[in-house]
Structure 1
Amino acid sequence: MDLQGTKEARTQEEGAEGPLEAYGGGKSRSKEYRKNERRDSHNHDDRASIHPLRRRQQPFAYPHGSQQTASSAVTRQREPSPSPEAIGIPQALGLSSREQRLLRKARRSPPVTKKTLSELDLPCIMSNINLRMDANFDRDLHFKPDLDGEKGKRKKKEAADYWDSLALEIAIYSFRAATADISIEEVVSTDGSRRTFDPRLPALFETLQDVIKTLVPERDHPTVMQNLEVPLLMQQIRKGVLDMLTLATWLAALLKTHCAPMRDEWADRMVEQIQEGSQSQDPREIVNGLQTLFSILEAMKLDVANHQIRAFRVLLIEDTVPFLQEYFQGKINRGNFHVEPARHWYLAVRDRAQQEDAQKNQTQPQNTATSETEDALKPIEALFRGITDQLLQFNPPDEFPETFLFDSERLWQLRSTIQNLINLDIAWYIFEAYVNKHKRYLSAPEETYSTFRTRIWSLMEDGIDMESRIASNPVANDDDPDHRGGKRWTQNMRCIALEIARFACAALQLDAVVADEVIAPIEEALEWHLSNESDLFRYFQNSMRGKVLDTTLASARRYLPLSPLAICESQRTPPSSSGPVPGSSSSAPAVSGSAGPSSQQLTPQVSDIERIGMRLAHMGVLHWRVWAPLLYLRDEITMADLAPALI
């Protein structure tokens, strides 16, 4: 590996229809690692898809319909013809129809191969756009196998079938070796043909040899080839004289020499499993040892890849903008990426922003010097206004602009966070309105709000606080496509209403047992305002819009002169405040089912809004540097003429 991996990767990528997505966290196809299916909308190469540990990625699923059915039918009709190396299934073993089917149809190669692990090679890492983007937002980015969702379940089942079929194959080899001088009656199918299967052990040993050679120095390659000589090993297996324990012991010693010390215990366990299987003549235990062996090899490759991510992190981040510009320009030139709708979207939001500013300036004249500074930031401010509107609208947008392809997960998560904060404000307002209706006022609103927020959030997020949610940036769950968070609130409606009622009873000094007459109006108001784009929602939506835009633009002003690495490092700076900030809500609309004046309303914690603003500004500034010269300001200025403050 050399430091020219970036240039090599670019050259390699130009011939592909999409990026070599080494993940997908997470930010992920023979052997896949975590990856974002949402990002696959542009013919992305399926050969490499790795995802960061913190991310839970969108599972892949075959669409229901005639194509799947037809494919299945073709598969059934095209059972592979036996090869010259095919082995007959002995009748004496009494294998079930399922076991025979596994021998004939399970995958031929191990779940871990040289090809699948090549996704973790440095050229793939350096050309991985998903990874480059995620490296800007996650300091602890690293890889792990993608075993989540439907695709992960399917992969685990395929792997389990492979290892089960391998155990049956070892049993057949043992049976044949033990009955070498006896004529073996083989299983016959209904049409009179012999039941045969293609052996997997030769491919397993070849794969083992290839993978180990990628993990050990070249000086050890002759020893590896000598000890893993496939024809010799297969000959010994057929004759029943292969010493698996000696082979396993040598493999463990070799791996311990080159892997991290934390893997030594794993290697010892592999030897113990194969020893136990050899002594008891239990093929299942031997296969368990082989399965452990391949898990060690995969872990070693992941260790190397994660080390490379740490070593090249600065290079990946600093090269983000030129790499993306080169990549997207190539896609656009080849006609593989249609971005004109995104340009029309930007021009529309910019025109709308100019109209709003013109109306505002008519009523509130600005200082000339300040106005000139702000005018220079108007183009990128329009971008933030447009994307903020999509984050705040009641119904989820159909999609974000195509130019946000590699930021879409982060935007969906920010939208979910913002909408949950709005819902929390609505719940707090309903609580205050009920208390005020009974002519009572909170003696310690800040302390009550803090406790209230913690209790409601624990119901919603299983104890995950706002800070960790935004920092970890989990990907939206496919099973919960409502990115506003409404589905989770609806599912917990009764519990949330009960919690609000408990707070109300405590504030009104009522009995500890909450009566139905207290819960009913609270639950009714909660359900209405969370399910409809009510005046109350619009009030808190507008309030949230102002806060998010102010904090985002303030962060963007700080980030514009900084390098991508400096912006990334600035995200570690703690927010200036972490406590709740009181605010007046005298103009808030009345809640259905309640009466009386509106009491003091507490806004979401400043730290939450600051984190949202910092993250959105981080995404927006990088996005602007890539797309302003390529698309948004393409017809107005060239990249050389672009104002330094906006680059």
Structure 2
Amino acid sequence: MDTRTPKATSSNASSLRAERHSFSQPSAENLVVETSIDGSPSAWHGSLITRHGPSDDQLHPAEHDIVAANEEEGMLRSTHTPTQTPPTPCRHLDYPEELAQIIMAMSPTQYYDELAEAYREASEFPPITTQSLSELDIQHITTNVRLRHDVNFDRDLSFRPNLDGAKGQQKKHVTGQYWKALEAELELYTSLFQGAPTPRTKEGDRWVDLVHYAQRRIPVMFRTIQEVLKSLVPDRDHARVEEHLDVPMLMQEIQRGVCDLVRLAEWMAQLLKEHCAPIRDGLVDEMVSIIRVGASKRSSAQIVDGLRDLFNILETMKLDVANHQIRNLKPMLIEQTIDFEYKYHLERILNHRSRVNVDTAQAWYLRATWEFAGQYPNQTRNLSQAQLNIFVRAVIVPLFNTNRRYELPETFYLDHDRLRSLRVEIEDLVHIEVCMDAFANMLGQFGYNGAISPSTRHRLSTSLLAIMGNAMGHGSYQWVMNSEALALEILRQASLVAGQTMSISHETLSIANEYLLHMFYNSSTTHHPRLEAALFDRTMICINRHTSSTALDLFNTLVPIANTFSPQPTSFSHLDTSNTSTSQSRTPEDARWQDIANRVTHMIILHWRVWKGIAYIQEDSPEARAHREQNTPSPQAIKSTQPPSTAEHKTQLISNMKTGESLESGQESLVPHETHFQ
């Protein structure tokens, strides 16, 4: 195997190494000499004790075993007649520790200490397995309620490896430790299989056990490659996979030093190219090249790099297949959203497996009814419309208000991230509105009383967003921190519009900054009510326009087509009004608020159709019965306010679930299976 430049090892590390891993010199009869590739010997002890206890002629106390009292020790010593002077008592270690000691003995460097530590502690399974890839199988895609909900809001929804945040960093660390452990195991094989011959002593059987235990990860890795390949290729190729990835045969070849990893990699490359997208051919060729170079240089590190690339290619192929299936199934998944989610949540609630507390949701809607019902006195004869108005108001209020009494119930758990994103964008938009009002006020101070053109507002808005930069989306505090720069830009543009000379004193800037800060601090009372009411009006207009729209209609109409670039999430650059017919009459802020109204509308319509009859509206309440007696809606009105599955169908479904009767033909296909995501 290759040799690496030794890294400097501190005295503390050296002393720890000596304290934790040293053991006494054995007698000459028990010494086993390991011959490395370059012919240099490395010694290690043969008289070691296993986890499973010693044999009758090898009773020595192990490091973590509780052995008998002094009398038993005396008896054992009396029954054992040593053939030579007993060696100095030493610490006997279990198999993993023994093997780690062998790895450390190969080279007295910090790097080999790290390899030994990874060999002890790392997982025995590769970071990519059939189980980890199972979430990409079609049956998991079609029963994953979160994915089926998210697909309604994203035109480019696709799977990708998730390495974001703290969990992603932890995953990277665990993955790195596994590949280090795999390299350590390859180095260990060199010592065990190409070193000294198997000793023909009483330790021989134990040596065989030690060699067997050393093969911890390589056999598992080969089996995993075989399983993943079989999941990616047609059934007709399974026999080929099993033939070339015969794990017992491969391990025998490794022990005898005749395993041709290059030939195996070339065969896998040919198989992968037959079934993967042509764009992946370059990755496959690079993987083979790395393994070839590693084998020629006898470098365990480079061989492991090639194997890592192989697993990445397998994961990429699985992702390609899953993303292709999502694109093909997307219209069907979206069209069935209401029925699927309704049955999914109802079944879990009735079987007490739901994460949603329906009583809490009902109490939340009841509080909203008490608080907001009086705002719609002219709609009392249209109960369904009044109920929807109350619900829309109850959803919009928390987007502007952080008071916990307005907090949305658990029924919104599938939309939690979208609602949080909306709240962040609204907070930034409110501050932009504050800046625009400050701009109008400063224009008045400069004696300008004319109208502010959309182009002027667009120019100022662009400048303010550039000043904020990456601070956008991080709360009011960032606007306060940048208030002086914002005030200066507002003053500069106000002076240009008013035709004043560009001469801003420090005193003028200080006054403008104080004024802007005052407006920021009071925005919850001066701007929130007006902007909240405006968003409610926009949302209700949009909802009324889409009352009869299917889920697929909503997707096609309300989900914007993404740009070819990826803008900052709160920069609003995805709203390109320059190519629209209304761009001359609408300000950038109008387009941004309308985009938010569209997204709120989309969430509300889907949510209301799924949860209205489950959590919010009790059809047998006195209010509902009285309203039905006085105002029986027409069949057309019922159809326009009901989701695609009718109320009679839902009533029958609830009854069947409660009594345990079988579902009608065609219904059972939409009842989801339990998945590990929920």
Q: CA deviation at 1:563?
A: 1.2
Is residue 364 of structure 2 the alignment partner of residue 352 of structure 1?
no
Match runs of 1:123-138 below 5 Å: 123-138=139-154
| Equivalent position of 2:47 in the other structure | none
Displacement of 1:445 in angstroms is 3.6
Cross-structure match for 2:528: 541
Match of 1:630 in 2: 614
The 2-side partners of 1:500 and 1:515 are apart by: 14
Correspondence for 2:518: 528
- Determine if the alignment matches structure 1 residue 565 to structure 2 residue 581: no
1:204 aligns with 2:210: no
> Deviation of residue 201 (structure 1)?
0.7
Quote the offset at 1:426 in angstroms: 0.5
1:488 matched residue in structure 2: 478
The one-letter amino acid of 2:391's match is L
Change (3 A) 1:294 1:620: same
Contact 1:277 1:284 in 2 (8 A): yes
| Aligned-partner residue type, residue 164 of structure 1 | K
Shift in CA distance, 346/327, structure 1 to aligned 2, threshold 3 Å = same
Q: 1:617 to 1:92 in 2, by over 3 A?
A: closer
Could you tell me how far apart the structure 1 residues matched to 2:166 and 2:430 are?
32
Inter-partner Cα distance in structure 2 for 1:306 and 1:400: 32
* CA-CA distance at 1:397 after TM superposition: 7.3
Aligned partner of 1:145 in structure 2 is 161
Structure-to-structure mapping, 1:293-312, within 5 angstroms = 293-312=310-329
State the secondary structure of the residue aligned to 1:312: helix
Q: Is the 8 A contact 1:267 1:293 kept in 2?
A: yes
Q: Indicate the larger mover: 256-265 or 175-184.
A: 175-184
CA offsets per residue over residues 46-88 of structure 1, 9 Å max, x none? Answer: xxxxxxxxxxxxxxxxxxxxxxxxxxxxxxx99x974899786
Q: Which residue of 1 aligns with 2:435?
A: 427
Residue ranges of structure 2 left out of the alignment (5+ in a row)? 1-63, 66-92, 201-209, 562-576, 643-678
Q: Secondary structure at the match of 1:341?
A: helix
Q: TM-score, normalised by structure 1?
A: 0.72
Q: 1:463 to 1:306 in 2, by over 3 A?
A: farther
What is the deviation of 1:438?
Answer: 3.3
- 1:254 maps to a residue whose letter is L
Residues 524 and 619 of structure 1, relative CA distance in 2, 3 Å threshold: same
Q: Between Structure 1 and Structure 2, whose CA radius of gyration is higher?
A: 2
Letter in 2 for 1:571: L
Q: Aligned partners of 1:176, 1:486: CA distance in 2, in Å?
A: 63
* C-alpha distance 260-158 of structure 1, shift in aligned 2 (>3 A): same
Q: Could you tell me which of 90, 100, 107 is aligned with 1:93?
A: 107
Say if 1:443 and 1:621 are closer, same or farther in 2 by CA, change over 3 A.
closer
Is 1:646 paired with 2:659? no
* Matched AA of 2:265: A
For residue 136 of structure 2, the aligned residue among 115, 120, 131 is 120
CA offsets per residue over residues 366-395 of structure 1, 9 Å max, x none? xxxxx5896542111111011111112266
State the alpha-carbon separation in 1 of the partners of residues 94 and 544 from structure 2: 66
- Judge conservation of contact 2:137–2:322 (CA < 8 Å) in 1: yes
TM-superposed CA distance for 1:548, in Å, is: 1.0
CA-CA distance at 1:633 after TM superposition: 1.4
Cα distance in 2 between the residues matched to 1:98 and 1:423: 52
CA distance in 2, matches of 1:161, 1:429: 56
Which letter does structure 1 place at the counterpart of 2:144?
Answer: N
Does the C-alpha gap of structure 1 residues 347 and 398 become closer, same or farther in structure 2, counting only changes over 3 Å? closer
* Structure 1 residues 216-615: aligned runs within 5 Å: 216-335=233-352, 336=354, 337-358=356-377, 376-393=384-401, 399-441=407-449, 445-462=453-470, 485-507=475-497, 512=502, 514-530=504-520, 532=521, 534=522, 536-571=523-558, 579=583, 605-615=589-599
Among 610, 615, 619, the residue aligned to 2:603: 619
Post-superposition Cα deviations, 1:432-489, rounded to whole Å, max 9, x if no partner, equal 222322323467543221101111123335599xxxxxxxxxxx8xxx5xxxx31332
- Pair 1:180-2:161 in alignment: no
Which residue identity lines up with residue 645 of structure 1 in the other structure?
S
Q: Label 1:514 to 1:171 Cα distance change in 2 as closer, same or farther (>3 A).
A: farther
Aligned to 1:365: none
Please state how far the C-alpha of 1:149 moved relative to its aligned partner: 0.2
Distance in structure 2 (CA, Å) of the matches to 1:81 and 1:398: 60
Cα displacement string for residues 146-178 of structure 1 (whole angstroms, at most 9, x for unaligned residues) = 000000010011111111221122122123333
Please give the per-residue CA displacement for 1:382-423, whole angstroms capped at 9, x wherever unaligned.
110111111122668784221111112111111222221111
Mind listing any 5+ residue stretches in structure 1 that lack a counterpart? Answer: 1-76, 185-193, 362-370, 465-475, 583-602
- Counterpart of 2:512, as a letter, is I
Q: 1:107 to 1:522 in 2, by over 3 A?
A: farther
- The structural deviation recorded for 1:242 is 1.2
Q: Distance in 2 between matches of 1:457 and 1:396?
A: 30
- CA distance in structure 2 between the aligned counterparts of 1:254 and 1:398, rounded to whole angstroms: 57
One-letter amino acid of the counterpart of residue 513, structure 2: E
Q: CA deviation digits over 1:67-125, x for unaligned, max 9?
A: xxxxxxxxxx99x9748997862423335433221111011111100110011111111
**Native 8 Å contact 1:421 1:604 kept in 2:** no
Which amino acid is 2:640 matched to? A
8 Å contact from structure 1 (residues 114, 207) kept in 2: yes
- Once residues 622 and 433 of structure 1 are traced to their aligned partners in structure 2, the CA distance between those partners, rounded to angstroms, is 42
Distance across 2 between alignment mates of 1:616 and 1:210: 44
Cα distance per residue 1:509-555 (max 9 Å; x no partner)? 5665754223322322333333x3x2x54332222122211211111
Would you say the 8 A contact 1:83–1:198 is kept in 2? no
Give the secondary structure class of the aligned counterpart of 2:152: helix
Q: 1:578 to 1:401 in 2, by over 3 A?
A: farther
Report the CA distance shift for 1:463/1:105 in structure 2 as closer, same or farther (over 3 A). closer
Verify the 8 A CA contact 2:495 2:501 in the aligned structure 1.
yes
What SS does structure 2 have at the residue aligned with 1:110? coil
Judged with a 3 Å threshold, the aligned counterparts in structure 2 of structure 1 residues 353 and 235 are, in CA distance, closer, same or farther, namely: same
Contact 1:560 1:645 in 2 (8 A): yes
- Specify the alignment match of 2:88 in structure 1: none
Aligned counterpart, 2:170: 154
- Map 1:28-43 to 2 at 5 A: none
Q: Which residue of 2 aligns with 1:57?
A: none
Aligned CA RMSD, in angstroms, stands at: 3.3
Quickly say closer, same or farther: Cα 1:400–1:460, change in 2 above 3 A: farther
Amino acid at match of 2:414: F
Q: Which AA in structure 2 matches 1:436? A: G
For this pair of structures, how many residues does the alignment match?
A: 509
